[in-house]
Structure 1
Amino acid sequence: MEEVIRKYFRCWLDKDVAAVKEIFSDDIIYSECYGPVYKGNGQIIRWFEDWNRKGTVLQWEIKRVIVTGNTVVVEWYFKCDYEGNVDGFDGVTIAEFDDDVKICDLKEFQSKAEHYCPYEG
Structure 2
Amino acid sequence: MKRREDKIQEYFNLWLTKEARQLKEIFANEVFYNECYGPEYHGINQILQWFNDWNKRGTVLQWRVKHFIHEGNCTVAEWYFECDFDGVRDEFNGVSIILFNSDEKIVSLKEFQSKSKHYQPFGETR
For the residue of structure 2 that corresponds to 1:18, the secondary structure is: coil
Deviation sequence 1:22-56 (CA, Å, 0-9, x none): 11001000000000000000000000000000000
Identical residues among aligned pairs (%): 51
User: Any unmatched runs of 5+ in structure 2?
Assistant: none
Alignment correspondent of 1:47 = 50
User: Any unmatched runs of 5+ in structure 1?
Assistant: none
Deviation sequence 1:38-83 (CA, Å, 0-9, x none): 0000000000000000000000111111122111100011000001
Picking from 64, 69, 74, the partner of 1:66 is 69
Measured at CA, do residues 113 and 78 of structure 1 come closer, stay the same or move farther in structure 2, by a change above 3 Å? closer
Contact (CA 8 Å) 1:75, 1:91: kept in 2 or not?
A: yes
Amino acid at match of 1:40: G
Amino acid at match of 1:30: Y
- How many angstroms apart in 1 are the aligned matches of 2:11 and 2:84? 19
Contact (CA 8 Å) 1:2, 1:67: kept in 2 or not?
A: no
Alpha-carbon distance, 1:115 to partner: 1.4
